[in-house]
Amino acid sequence: MIRDTAPADPFELFDSWLSEAEASEPNDPTAMSLSTVGADGMPSSRMVLLKGVDQRGFVFYTNFESRKGEQILAHPKAALLFHWKSLRRSVRIEGETSSVTDEEADAYFASRPRQSQIGAWASQQSRPLEGRFELEKQVALYAAKYAIGRIPRPEYWSGIRVKPLRIEFWQDGAFRLHDRLVYSRQGDHWSTMRLYP
């Protein structure tokens, strides 16, 4: 149950729920559905991993030339959804997007496993692929190119921060009497409202 004494800061509640999910979810507690919208107004969703969260927002990384990257750059708004089945909870986030700084992107890219760094160079994400061999050939090409030394971050690969304007916490309840608590941002202030299930 979401208590009536829920914190005034939604990030405090989110951090608490994420910590519980990290202790109980068997796979990828940081997995979240990312929804964007295309030029035709059609929404599109896919799973990404949360790589950072603080008062500025929720961060994930991607190829900016991918479908999601292009949609976000053209329409800088997104929705996120966490679903933690083991806890019977979810968190919905809606907000505006912006790129992380080059320094943040460089630091995160450098922390990734070497094969993942090579994969960022090798994959022309979201574009047609003739066959698996074509991808493996690109991986081998970049593995040879960057066989020694530091692998630089591709210019088209960076992070997106979703600055939330609305965060809804949902907790399963008996007989479908679920708890729903919405935080809405007005400037730097958050207001809360409970919703019928």
Can you tell me whether residue 167 is helix, strand or coil?
strand
Cβ atoms of residues 183 and 167 within 8 Å: yes
Q: Angle 181-60-7 (CA atoms, 0-180°, nearest 5)?
A: 25
Specify whether 176 is catalytic.
Answer: yes
Cβ atoms of residues 142 and 120 within 8 Å: no
Report CA torsion sign: 40, 168, 185, 59.
negative
Question: How far is CA 111 from each of CA 32, 78, 137, 178, rounded to the nearest angstrom?
Answer: 21, 26, 25, 40
**Which listed residue (150, 176, 180, 185) is catalytic?**
176
Helix (H) or strand (E) holding 106: helix 102-111
Catalytic residues: 176
